[in-house]
Structure formats: C-alpha cells, structure tokens
Structure 1
Amino acid sequence: MKSFNTVLKLSVLIALLAAVAAGSGLLWQGSGDSYPFTTLRGETVMIRGHGLYRYDTVASSSQEIGQDIVTLLVGIPLLVYAMLRTRKDAMRGKLLLTGGLAYFLYTYASMSFLTAFNAFFLVYVALFSLSLFAFILALMALDPAEVAAHIGERFPRRAITTYFLVVAAFLALAWLGLVVPPMLTGTAPAGLESAITMVIQALDLGVIVPTAILTALLLRKGNAWGYTLSLVVLLKILTMGAALISMIIVQLLSGVAVDPVVTAGFGVISLSGIILAAMTLRTIND
C-alpha cells in the first residue's frame, strides 16, 4: 500500500486537471463558422473556427470533443473509484487505477502532440507528464505474482490472448495500409488533415501493437507478467474503447466522412474490449 501513496497523490492532480481541460473543451464553444484552409500538402480542410478547438479541423475537433465527453463521464469517475478502492488495498482498485492512468497517458500524450496550440497547452503537457510518471510508479508497485494469485479460475485467458492478437493485427493492417502507399507515392495520407505527421499511428504502431503482442505471448505461456499486463491494458481499453465509440458518434453528428470499414472495425474492437474487460474484472478476487 505504501508504494501506491505517491500514485494516489498524482492521480488526484490528474483528475482535477482533466476535469478542467475536458470541461473547457465542452463548455468553451464560442461563436464563428468553419472555414477552408490549405495545408502544406496543398489539400483543403475545414477548420472548426470557434471554441477552444477553433484552430483544429472539424474532423479532429470532433474527436477531441468525443474524447472530452468520455473523460468527464467515464475516465474521471473510474479514476476516482479506483483511488478509493486502492486506499482500501484492493487488488481490483490497483489494477483499475493503473489501467485508468494508461488511458490518461495516451489521451494527453495525443493532445499534447496533436491538438492545435491553445490556452490549455500547458495543462495537456502537465497531464501527459503526471500520467506518465504515475503510470510507471503504479506498474512498478504491482507484484505480478500477487496479481496472478488474485485471479479466479474463470479468467478467460485464451479469449484475452486471441483478442490482443486480433487488436495488434487490425491496428497494424489498418495503419500500415494508411501510411505505406503515401510513403511510396509521396502523397499525403488520408486523415493527415492539418497535422504535419501521423501522431496516433506512431503511438499505436510504436507502443500499442508491440504491447498487445508481448502481452498475448506472455499470457499464452501463463507468465505472471502476462496476467498483469493483460489486466492493465484491458482496463485501459475499458475507457479508451468508450472514447473511440464517442469519437465516431460525434464525427458522424458533425457530418465528417469516415471510412466505414475501418470505423466498423474500431467499433467492434472497442465494444468487444469493453465487454471483455468487464467480464475479466469480475474474476479478480479482492
């Protein structure tokens, strides 16, 4: 319990700052119309033109608003619940807290690097930094052998192993199919918008895909770290999956054209991850 004390203190700051950042993203709407903008690649995109995300494109700002909704309604409440459970030394709380911190780390790393500069830039950076160190400390405080000892017999090891391999394959195929052809032809990849590079794809291909594969391999061997990582990543997917679904809905409501195949794939993977995470959470004995 002692090693989680610093994590709890950092988590309080993360919850407070995230409430300010996400709340501002939803409430700061302002006035103005979207307008066309020609990118460095010579493509025309529509800039939102109002609110906190006024310098982001309509497509990217729709995703940011969808993310803000889930951060306020799901991410922060789950983080607070996890903190309360962790204070009682509950294993379920420790795992929820670590997975929740992974969600905030991914979210605000993305916003620090991808969101157009605005008045909350330093808040995004602070959340990115706090989440990074809190996540590292939380993961270090988890004893894999202790985690494995708290897992019940109904833990769906094969289903989780298969799920992570499917996620890794889907992300690899989706993102490589998006970025490799433009690399060969010298054109701009779809979805680049007003950004200068593909941030989300870099994070997914460089971090999420290797983590999913490593976790699946360790879990298949029955390694204690496999159980620990699978639970942490699944609980991160619990919130991130909800955020992806929210992003898709807000984009569609905003009239943003989306790839139906990739969107459907993300929707199925997100929903499946949420269900699998909820099922797995019930197998952890406190």
Structure 2
Amino acid sequence: MGLVWRGLYQDAPANAATFRAYDLGTLTLATPVFVGALARARRGSPRAELVWAGMLAYAVYTYAYHVFGAAMDALFLAHVAVFVLAAVALGVLLTGLDARSVAQRFRERTPVRAVAAVLALLAGSLGAMWTYQSLRYAVTGAPPEEGLLLQPPPVGHLGYAMDLTTLVPAWATAAVLLWRRHPWGHVLGTVLLTSSAVIQANYLIALRSQAAAGIPGATAFDPQEPPIAAAIVGAAAALLAGMRPQAFPAPAV
C-alpha cells in the first residue's frame, strides 16, 4: 500500500522514502521467499523451516520501524498486526524446533566457524560504531552522525535502539554458539543470516529510493554495503547448503 498510496506516510520526506523502500523490499523479496518457504516447510523441508523463521524475524525487525518509528497513518493497526503476529509466530516456531535434531542435519564439512566469524564481525562492527556514537554524544553532546541513509528523528534514534537491542546481541549470541557448535548456533545462525540478507537489501533499496525522491544530501550507493551484503548472503548460503535434505515431520499449523 505504501507504494501505491503516495500520501500514506506522514513523515519527513527522507523517512517516507525509506518506508516505501522497505515496502518494496517486503513485496518483492521477503514475501515471495516467505510464501515459498512456508509451502516447502509444510512438505517437510528442513531448510525451508529455518528460512520461514528468518522471514518472520525480518518482519518483526522491519515492522518495528513502521510501528514505533513512523508517524500515525491509516494503516497503523495493520502494521501492528503484522508486527505482533510475526513475533508470536516466530516464538512458536522456534520453541517447537528440536535444535539438536536440526544441528545433526548439518554436514561435517559445513564451515560453521567461518560463518561464526562473519556473525561476530557483523556484531562487533555495528555494535562498536553505534556505541562510539552514543558515548560521543554522552561526553560531548554532539548529535550522532547520520549515515548515508538519511534518518531524521525519530527513525535515527530507533535505528540505534533496534540494532543495539536486537541485531547486535543476536548476531553475537549466534556467533558464540555456532563457534562452539552448539545446536542452537546452527538454528539461530541460519535464521539471522537469512533475515539479515533481506534487511541489507532493504538498506540498498532505501538509498536509491531517497536519491530518486530528490532528498537533499541523499546518495544512491554506499560502496561499503555490497561486500557486507555478499558476506551475509554467502554465510547464509553456506549454512543452508550444509544441511542434509532429510525432512522434518510436517509442522502442525
């Protein structure tokens, strides 16, 4: 709806362009992957069940911005519904998984420690960057610097809060567990990397959306992002490819 209803988002132009970009990513990337994964998970695919969980995690993260960061709009209750239902579904799905059984389906040659290193690098770099900016503000009062993706208040602050309370600790936890070959490391690593791949794609789309909307100071490309996106996609692919194709029992949904 955000793509066809141009007046839906009553936010600063930069934020409105970002929300429309997220809608485009949800429509063209997350939703097809979600539907395909759900269909295959119902037929017992172990990979699909983890991808399904990843797309639910994506929905929780992305729609938190719509619910808590966007100005009141006509679809506020719909955004709340997507956020809550995705969070509940993700919790039910993960608590119903047998993590040990999932981990046993990964082949011995799966490069789990290389993937754990990618997760640790993601957590460390993003956490260090936001922590530095936050401490700099606490000491000097200088406002945190805005990245290439322009995020006027309140979205900029929400981005710091979301990343430091969700992505960074989740990546770090998955990195430690996967390095130690703990069963939940395999589950969380796959779920987080598949969701992060689409989140990263949204960032790239948002840059182009802001530039296309003529936002002052916007840039259509961040040269640092393609390597980051490639690392995330490669790590996710390594875990998914490392799973043996035995089927889970079909989930009772």
TM-score by structure 1 length? 0.77
SS in 2 for 1:25: coil
How far 1:66 moved relative to its partner?
Answer: 1.3
Change (3 A) 1:260 1:154: farther
1:96–1:235 CA contact under 8 A, matched in 2: yes
* Higher mean C-alpha displacement, 180-189 vs 106-115: 180-189
> Cα offset for 1:187?
4.6
Q: What CA distance in whole angstroms lies between the structure 2 residues aligned with 1:92 and 1:63?
A: 31
Match of 1:13? Answer: none
The answer to whether structure 1 residue 216 and structure 2 residue 175 are counterparts is: yes
* Residue pairs, 1:60-209, within 5 angstroms: 60-191=15-146, 193-195=152-154, 198-209=157-168
SS in 1 for 2:110: coil
Asked whether the equivalents of residues 161 and 216 of structure 1 are also in contact (C-alpha less than 8 Å), the reply is: yes
Post-superposition offset of 1:69: 0.8
Note closer, same or farther for the CA distance 1:161–1:58 as it changes in structure 2 (3 Å cut): same
Residues 230-241 of structure 1: pairs in structure 2 closer than 5 A: 230-241=189-200
What amino acid is the match of 1:224? Answer: P
Larger RCO: Structure 1 or Structure 2 (Cα < 8 Å, ≥ 6 residues apart)?
2
**Shift of residue 213 of structure 1?**
1.1
TM-score, length of structure 2 as denominator length? 0.87
In the TM superposition, what is the alpha-carbon distance from 1:280 to its structure 2 partner?
2.6
Q: Is 1:275 matched with 2:225?
A: no
Tell me how far apart the structure 1 counterparts of residues 79 and 135 of structure 2 sit (CA, whole Å).
30
Q: CA deviation at 1:258?
A: 5.2
Instruction: Look up the match of 2:248.
Output: none
Verify the 8 A CA contact 1:245 1:270 in the aligned structure 2.
Answer: no
Task: Tell whether the 8 Å contact from 1:242 to 1:274 is kept in structure 2 after alignment.
Answer: no
Over 3 Å counting, the alpha-carbon distance change for 1:265 and 1:197 in structure 2 is: closer
C-alpha separation in 2, matches of 1:82 and 1:130: 17
Q: % of aligned pairs identical?
A: 30
For structure 1, the residue ranges without an aligned partner over 5 or more in a row are 1-23, 30-50
CA distance in 1, matches of 2:141, 2:219: 22
| Unpaired segments ≥5 residues, structure 2 | 246-253
Give the alignment's Cα RMSD to 1 decimal: 2.1
Work out whether residues 211 and 219 of structure 2, in 8 Å CA contact, stay in contact via their aligned partners in 1: no
Q: How far apart in 1 are the matches of 2:230 and 2:211? A: 18
CA distance in 2, matches of 1:189, 1:74: 31
Q: What stretches of structure 1 move > 3 A for 4+ residues in a row?
A: 185-192, 258-261, 263-267
Contact 1:234 1:277 in 2 (8 A): yes
The equivalences for 1:30-45 within 5 A come to none
Alpha-carbon distance between aligned partners in 2 of 1:162 and 1:215, rounded to the nearest angstrom = 10
